[in-house]
Structure 1
Amino acid sequence: MAQRCCAQTHRFRPLCLSSPQPDPLLAHPHTMTPSSTTQSRRTSSGSWLLTAAITLAVLVRVLVPVAFPDLAETLASRPEVATPITQFQRLTEGVYLMRHGISPYDGNVVYQTPILLALFEALPSFLHRWIFVLCDIAIAAAIRQISQSKDEFDQILNAELSAKPTSPSSDDEIPEDVVSASTLAERKPSDGNGKDNDNDSSNDNSNGDDRAESKLDRVLTELQTEKAIEARSLDPWLITLLYLASPFSIASCIGMSLGVFDNLAIVLAVDFAIQGKRLPSMAFLAFATYLGMYPVILIFPCVLLISRRRNTGFWVTLLWAGLFYALSLAFLLGLSRSIAGSWSFINSTFGTILLVPDLTPNIGLWWYIFIEMFDQFRTFFLAVFQLWVVVFAVPISIRFKNSPLFVVLVLLAVVSTLKSYPSFVDLAVYLPLVGLYADLYKYMTWLFFSLSMLAYATILLPLFFHLWIGFGAGNANFFYAITLVFSLAQVILTMDLVSAMKLCEWERRHPRQRNSRLEVHDN
């Protein structure tokens, strides 16, 4: 009888398996155990190490050009760092022409925007390198702010999804064996005289009650936590270090790649979007589009971020954000028209990105193909290649609408791989953002392989280019072959990220299948 009472008492606790016990550390907050002291020391030493590493990464950007000026000049002319769009030497040529009253867009040398030309014309030359260092530090600070805001954004999104009334689907209904067992447990076994059965029957029923209740509690808990968002990321300072210590960002900063300004505008646009600020987000996104054109596809995830943060409808947010974006872009174009004195800069800036007239070797996929292509097919393949860059924007935004920051990461990786004039600076901005989704690492199959391939190709890119141009021991096929490996590594990494996110979402929607799958693997 006592056992049955215990079973009944346990049965009426639907989602709480045990009553919480008071924590002695909470009762005495000033009491510290040796383990907590050791943990605090480790945290303190880790923060000091991160601070020292970040400081060292900043000093490298400042001191290397001073101590090794030849290295800085070499990086500024390398095809891995400098492209016709981002090469600083072409910008200085344009500034020289502007100072002498000559339009920099008359020839086929300057492809930079008039606002950048006017900025560097107004600044003294000794400040030029400091501009790139400050921009790199600002990018790192914006990435850290995005990492911090992501946790708060995920909590808001989690609360929004949890507030929606959900009814269990056919896959998520409580199994019949659990319902029948729990219903059977509520019945009091007795004989015809109203007396209890023997002790053996009571023990069996109480054990069955415990098992049924435990299974019922587990299923109900899974249904309640089905829509919880797993958003664990790396420490924000560690993500900042991933950017500042990245060889791609260091080479781009020392080589004074103008893509640093594109990255700064992109991360600021995303940072303001995740905070729900429409006007500054669209203004910086318009400036990023003005500099590189391809960031226009980020308008969809940015609108998703703003609408979720402000708790407004997507189409209303898209209308207002699109209006702010169009006005900002029109203002930038009008300002460029007043600086350049004509609209000829459009053909030299946006036209160069679209039509790819300059086939200088770079780490992309375009230059070699269009060198070998017949002129009658050029227009068709230009359209196909350009469409291939932007065609993923809408499908990916729809598929991962509940993870708009992940959409930003994927689209940046796609642009870095498929744009007409890529360089190291494009990888520098999206690779640290992979740290925002540390939960996906356990689902990724090719993470080590793709990163190893990326490192392998990064080392061989300058070697193969030197074999071709320096020694003359090879030809263009040497360099283009390793650029294919470099692009393939990015493709594998991007596909692995997408597959991991899909698997993670599936396990959140089907927690019982996840548990059964884990049990099979454990056995």
Structure 2
Amino acid sequence: MSERGPAPAAAVPPTSTPRPPTSRNLAAALTVGAAVRLALQYAPAVTALRTTAQSSILTTTPLTRWSRIQEALYLYNRGLPLYDNALVHQPPILLPLLSVIPASMHPLLLTVIDTAVAAGLATLAHRQRELEPAAHAPVDADEEQKDPGAKIQGGGVAWTPAAVALAYLLNPLSILSCIAMDAGVIERGAMMAAAVFASGGDSIWASGAITVAFQMGFYPVALAPILALIQRRATHLSAFGVIPAVIISILMWNIIFYTFYTNVMDLDGMAVFKATTGFVLSVPDLQPNLGIFWYLLTEVFDHFRGFFVMVFQLHPFVYLAPIIMRFGRETPIFCLTVYTGVLATLKAYPTVGDYALWLGLLPLYASTWKYFRYPFITANVAVYCAFLFPIMHALWTRFASGNANFFYALTLVLVLGATVLQADCLHAMHVRMHHAHAYAVDKVHAAEAEEREFDEPVVEGRATAVEDRAERMRYRGGKGVKKTEDEEGKGEVKKVPARRVEVHKLPTLIVYLEE
């Protein structure tokens, strides 16, 4: 018997802990982004731009307009009822904090929160390789030879954590949202804080942050199971234990907040719920925005309004279970990325800031961009909408030469482009994971073939159908019969036990919540 060769390589190379991001580059990126925002917030030369942005229906909604928060602060500071009107829809938890900060410093506060969102994106980019090795499994020999801690390559750019943060900070949509004093910045900051805490395995603070986001806009509560799966990847706990724990924590945080509202702030808890969460659920304010609710609910008969509101509100939650079932076990941060886009598209009161957060998460998976099918279409839709939205809105409201159909038609184009991009993200990740799985299987087969060369004599002239079928069955994991010749030249039939591929060590295509 010949000597055994070297041991075959593992199906999936172990992923080492990624190197920490360069703090100097990240600090420079955050400084640049904050400086741009502060210059636009306080520079006298751009006062007209600030005024236009703060009154635009693209950047603010009745739920996030800063003038309504100022109204709430006025009532709160004078001890007047907060929710006996149809103007205030923000949670009371913000008011004690904002009341002690001078009004001139409120733009600085939003700038700090938006910069913190970018820092959270950089943190996720740093932790992602360790939490989601399946998303970065090699698809060919070239990728396998790269350092596991190497930068994410995509679009001709090396996406370091600092580059991810800078891409968000220099995104015109995020800048426009910040200078418009969009209160949705606070909601997005809470969402990002929840994701960062979950990626660090801290369920208590992750639940508290997502509770703040829930009270700001209701829809972030759907991220609870995704955050639980992210925490599961960080702590290696059972999903059936983590998910209920996160849900219970969110309920407890809500109880704490409403106890504070009723006992400390002396507010009616039911009035707070109706004015905040109830406002989002019932959609009473039909001012135009980037969503699809306002136009359809304006046209529908009042008799059917409740049914349509129910359908529209349930629509975003329909996609949660399929996304988690397919990608939740191995790539929960990818689920967060995709579902953030779903919420930005289908929520009742979206703004450009919601799209900015979604686009800020996409560079985390730049390695999948090469598998996109319709990048040209989505890029053109983005450019067309950026130019045509202000024009259509001006034709409708300023020059009275158009109507609501002009603006809403462009809204449908935006939703279509966002849907195509979401489908591309799902398709690209599916294809990449499939290629990585196929490459891992090929490596196992090659290792088995190399091992057989050392363990078994080489037999010439094997061309019969029986031998071919036996060899095929061998690769499939079935029992095969191989005809060999002994050293004296006498033919004999010998059963060779087949070696099964250990598929549990490979990136699986069937995703479960548990091992």
Q: TM-score, normalised by structure 2?
A: 0.75
Does structure 2 retain, via aligned residues, the 8 Å contact 1:154–1:229?
A: no
Shift of 1:51: 7.1
Shift of 1:457: 0.5
Does structure 2 retain, via aligned residues, the 8 Å contact 1:54–1:245?
A: no
Does structure 2 retain, via aligned residues, the 8 Å contact 1:81–1:251?
A: yes
Q: d(CA) in 2 for partners of 1:282 and 1:428? A: 23
1:139-218 correspondence runs (5 A): 139-155=117-133
Q: Secondary structure at the match of 2:366?
A: helix
Shift of 1:423: 0.3
Q: d(CA) in 1 for partners of 2:201 and 2:105? A: 34
Give the one of 236, 251, 254 matched to 1:326: 251
Q: d(CA) in 2 for partners of 1:299 and 1:97? A: 33
Greater helix fraction, Structure 1 or Structure 2: 1
Q: Secondary structure at the match of 1:112?
A: coil
Shift of 1:235: 1.2
Give the one of 330, 351, 356 matched to 1:423: 351
C-alpha spacing 1:158/1:500, structure 2 compared with 1 (3 Å) = closer
Q: d(CA) in 1 for partners of 2:379 and 2:215? A: 31
Does residue 1:511 correspond to 2:439, yes or no?
Answer: yes
Quote the residue 2:62 is aligned against: 84
Does structure 2 retain, via aligned residues, the 8 Å contact 1:151–1:231?
A: no
Give the one of 284, 294, 316 matched to 2:219: 294
Shift of 1:231: 9.5
Q: Secondary structure at the match of 1:84?
A: coil
| Cα shift readout 1:312-340 (whole Å, capped 9, x = no counterpart) | 11111123222222111211222233425
Q: d(CA) in 1 for partners of 2:85 and 2:161? A: 46
Q: Which amino acid letter does the alignment assign opposite residue 279 of structure 1? A: I
Shift of 1:248: 1.0
Question: Bigger CA drift: 365-374 or 284-293?
Answer: 284-293
Quote the residue 1:363 is aligned against: 290
Question: Bigger CA drift: 235-244 or 278-287?
Answer: 278-287
Give the one of 35, 40, 43 matched to 1:64: 40
Q: Which amino acid letter does the alignment assign opposite residue 97 of structure 1? A: L
C-alpha spacing 1:121/1:316, structure 2 compared with 1 (3 Å) = same
Does residue 1:138 correspond to 2:65, yes or no?
Answer: no
| Cα shift readout 1:376-424 (whole Å, capped 9, x = no counterpart) | 1101111111110112112211111211000001110000000000001
Shift of 1:460: 1.3
Q: d(CA) in 1 for partners of 2:357 and 2:115? A: 12
Q: For the aligned residues, what is the CA RMSD?
A: 3.0
Q: d(CA) in 2 for partners of 1:514 and 1:430? A: 35
Does structure 1 retain, via aligned residues, the 8 Å contact 2:129–2:149?
A: no
Shift of 1:513: 9.4
Quote the residue 2:451 is aligned against: none
The count of residues paired between Structure 1 and Structure 2 equals 416
Does residue 1:345 correspond to 2:272, yes or no?
Answer: yes
Q: Which amino acid letter does the alignment assign opposite residue 259 of structure 1? A: G
Quote the residue 1:375 is aligned against: 302
Unaligned runs of 5+ in 2: 10-21, 154-158, 444-515
Question: Bigger CA drift: 475-484 or 109-118?
Answer: 109-118
Give the one of 247, 252, 262 matched to 2:177: 252
C-alpha spacing 1:146/1:53, structure 2 compared with 1 (3 Å) = closer
Q: Secondary structure at the match of 2:64?
A: coil
Q: d(CA) in 1 for partners of 2:192 and 2:81? A: 32
Q: d(CA) in 2 for partners of 1:367 and 1:460? A: 19
Q: TM-score, normalised by structure 1?
A: 0.74
C-alpha spacing 1:367/1:52, structure 2 compared with 1 (3 Å) = same
Q: d(CA) in 2 for partners of 1:158 and 1:231? A: 13
Q: d(CA) in 1 for partners of 2:416 and 2:347? A: 14
Shift of 1:429: 1.1
Quote the residue 2:281 is aligned against: 354
Q: d(CA) in 1 for partners of 2:201 and 2:421? A: 30
Give the one of 450, 466, 474 matched to 2:394: 466
Q: Which amino acid letter does the alignment assign opposite residue 108 of structure 2? A: W
Q: d(CA) in 2 for partners of 1:51 and 1:347? A: 42
Quote the residue 2:473 is aligned against: none
Does residue 1:279 correspond to 2:272, yes or no?
Answer: no
Q: d(CA) in 2 for partners of 1:362 and 1:158? A: 35
Does structure 2 retain, via aligned residues, the 8 Å contact 1:290–1:332?
A: no
| Cα shift readout 1:132-165 (whole Å, capped 9, x = no counterpart) | 011111111111111101122235x799x9xxxx
Unaligned runs of 5+ in 1: 17-43, 162-218, 516-523
Give the one of 104, 111, 114 matched to 1:126: 104
Does residue 1:478 correspond to 2:406, yes or no?
Answer: yes
Shift of 1:242: 1.0
Q: Which amino acid letter does the alignment assign opposite residue 380 of structure 1? A: F
Q: d(CA) in 1 for partners of 2:28 and 2:397? A: 39
1:404-423 correspondence runs (5 A): 404-423=332-351
Give the one of 408, 415, 421 matched to 1:487: 415
Q: Secondary structure at the match of 2:398?
A: helix
C-alpha spacing 1:231/1:296, structure 2 compared with 1 (3 Å) = farther
Does residue 1:445 correspond to 2:421, yes or no?
Answer: no
Question: Bigger CA drift: 242-251 or 121-130?
Answer: 121-130
Quote the residue 2:486 is aligned against: none
| Cα shift readout 1:424-451 (whole Å, capped 9, x = no counterpart) | 1101111111100111111111123213
Q: d(CA) in 1 for partners of 2:37 and 2:52? A: 15
Q: d(CA) in 2 for partners of 1:59 and 1:291? A: 27
| Cα shift readout 1:302-359 (whole Å, capped 9, x = no counterpart) | 1111112211111111232222221112112222334252121211111110000000
Shift of 1:252: 0.8
C-alpha spacing 1:246/1:104, structure 2 compared with 1 (3 Å) = same
